[in-house]
Amino acid sequence: MKYKIALVGNPNSGKTTLFNCLTGSNLYVGNWPGVTVEKKEGDLRDTDKEITLVDLPGIYSLAPYSMDEIVSRNFLLEERPDLIINIIDASNIERNLYLSTQLMELNCPMVGALNMMDVVKKTGVEIDVGEMEKIFGYPFIEISAQKETGIDELIKLVEKTVGIKKLKDFPEIFPAEIRDLFNEFDSLIGSKYPDVLSDYPHLFRAIKLIEKDEEVLLKIHEKIDLLKDIDDIRKKIETVSHHDVDSAIADYRYRFITEGITRATKKTKDNAIQFQ
Ligand code: BGO
């Protein structure tokens, strides 16, 4: 069995450094089809399994505003990797976990590599990875790609996790009344527009339609009824959240992250620097 896994993370999270640590020989460098964005693939080292690691362009979110975001998200949606390694700059953990909350909606098994732990430890902050797993629903490993610590443990975790068919249920990021609206909208899409993005993960599809994501709208532009249904659900979300839809969705994600990080981290020194 051959596995294809993806390395996904924010720009400057240490992705290139980690990619080099994780891969041995057999590196393939090319371009993503149709664009001048570099594509790197390599075999995961020190494993008996056949695992190819694909380095996706660094991104802050799965919004389609840059070519890097479009390339990364199309790969995740169309190629469906067997596993995502989500690299997180742990010295900037809240901002990096924003992308993670979106990756969690892709129905793909995931492991979290908390990078820059050498920097974090110096600030006197400890991260409880067991607690992180309980809160976020996928396992985490502390690493320093630059100092090459935690890499063997990460490879073992990837080996153990890849190929697992039964996904853990990722936690609920949104409050119940918002989830109910997403579900109501998802049912409506399923019954009224069964051909619309039918191969997309459901929650991702619902949220991207509700956000009027540009790439998604391009695919449904002729469906005037659907656009009206999207406007209706947007109004309901605005009524419940008292915010415009985009801010509401982003706020819920950040609230979930902030609460999670408060539970999973502690300061061990008085002069510990606050996480951003
Ligand atoms: C420079 N710890 C520390 N301390 N730094 C790390 C770690 C880590 O675990 N991992 C990566 N870095 P990329 P993207 C640099 O290049 O892999 C550093 O964008 C410098 N360069 O060394 O490129 C890494 O692929 C001069 O830093 O990230 C790199 O995701 C001075 O984080 C930077 C200081 O890593 C980004 C740093 C000329």
Task: Supply the DSSP string of 60-97, one letter for each residue.
Answer: S-S-SSSHHHHHHHHIIIII--SEEEEEEEGGGHHHHH
Kindly give the distance from the C-alpha atom of residue 247 to the centroid of ligand 1, in angstroms, as a whole number: 31
Number of domains in the chain: 2
CB–CB of 93/241 below 8 Å?
A: no
Is 145 in the same domain as 116?
yes
* Mean pLDDT, residues 244-261 taken together: 97
Which residue, 127, 161, 195, sits at the end of a domain? Answer: 161
Kindly give the distance from the C-alpha atom of residue 94 to the centroid of ligand 1, in angstroms, as a whole number: 19
Query: Does residue 34 surpass a pLDDT of 90?
Result: no
- What per-residue confidence (pLDDT) applies to 93? 97
Distance CA 124, CA 145 (A): 19
Is 32 in the same domain as 145?
yes
| CATH number of residue 113's parent domain | 3.40.50.300
Full residue range of the structural domain in which residue 98 is found: 2-161
26 touches ligand 1 (CB under 6 Å) = no
| Digit-coded pLDDT (tens) for 38-64 | 899 999 999 999 999 999 999 999 998
In degrees and rounded to multiples of 5, residue 126 shows phi and psi of -110, 140
22 part of a folded domain:
yes
149 touches ligand 1 (CB under 6 Å) = no
- Please state the ipTM of this predicted complex: 0.97
DSSP per position, 194-257: TTTTTTS-HHHHHHHHHTT-HHHHHHHTT-HHHHHHHHHHHHHHHHHHSS-HHHHHHHHHHHHH
CB–CB of 162/49 below 8 Å?
A: yes
Lowest mean pLDDT among 23-37, 105-119, 125-139, 223-237: 23-37
- pLDDT higher at 118 or 274: 118
Is 109 in the same domain as 143?
yes
Tell me the pLDDT band of 223, cut-offs 50, 70 and 90.
confident
17 touches ligand 1 (CB under 6 Å) = yes
Atom of ligand 1 nearest to the CA of 12: 19
* Mean pLDDT, residues 87-107 taken together: 97
Kindly give the distance from the C-alpha atom of residue 146 to the centroid of ligand 1, in angstroms, as a whole number: 7
Query: Does residue 243 surpass a pLDDT of 80?
Result: yes
Query: Does residue 204 surpass a pLDDT of 80?
Result: yes
Query: Does residue 231 surpass a pLDDT of 90?
Result: yes
118 touches ligand 1 (CB under 6 Å) = yes
Is 117 in the same domain as 32?
yes
68 part of a folded domain:
yes
- Angle between the N-to-C axes of helices 202-210 and 245-264, in degrees from 0 to 180, rounded to the nearest 10: 130
Is 13 in the same domain as 144?
yes
116 touches ligand 1 (CB under 6 Å) = yes
Give, for ligand 1, the residue of 7, 16, 17, 115 to mutate: max count of ligand atoms closer than 8 Å to Cβ: 17
